[in-house]
């Protein structure tokens, strides 16, 4: 299935709020890494571990979600 965004591919991606940055920007790599870490924490949380550990991992996931969202918002200041 092809998806058309009608914006073309100029090597940039849109941030939440409408700003655009290069797809190669460190910020894009950073929130991808944060998302990937969050998924690994979820895999660990799904194992047979104590409820206290699960609760701590949930807090970590919540924090990672906020960090990832912050990286995706236009108002986040970048140097380039």
pLDDT tens across 32-52, in order? 999 999 999 999 999 999 999
Give the total number of structural domains in the chain: 1
Check residue 10 and give its pLDDT.
Answer: 83
The tens digit of pLDDT for each residue in 5-24 reads: 666 678 888 888 888 888 88
> Quick check: is 2 in a domain?
no
Range of the domain at 62: 12-72
* CATH number of the domain residue 37 falls in: 1.20.1200.10
pTM above the 0.85 mark? no
- Taking CA atoms, 32 is separated from 6, 29, 56, 74, in Å, by 24, 5, 22, 16
- Structure token pair of residue 57: 């991992």
The three-state secondary structure class of 73 is: strand
Q: From CA 58, how far away is CA 7, in angstroms rounded?
A: 37
CB 19 within 8 A of CB 76: no
Q: Is the dihedral of CA 9, 13, 16, 17 positive or negative?
A: negative
């Amino acid at each position: 299935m092809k998806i058309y965004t009608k914006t073309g591919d100029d090597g940039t991606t849109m941030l939440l709020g409408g700003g655009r940055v290069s797809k190669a920007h460190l910020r894009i790599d950073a929130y991808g890494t944060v998302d990937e870490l969050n998924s690994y924490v979820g895999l660990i949380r799904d194992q047979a571990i104590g409820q206290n550990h699960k609760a701590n991992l949930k807090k970590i996931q919540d924090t990672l979600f906020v960090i990832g969202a912050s990286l995706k918002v236009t108002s986040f200041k970048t140097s380039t």
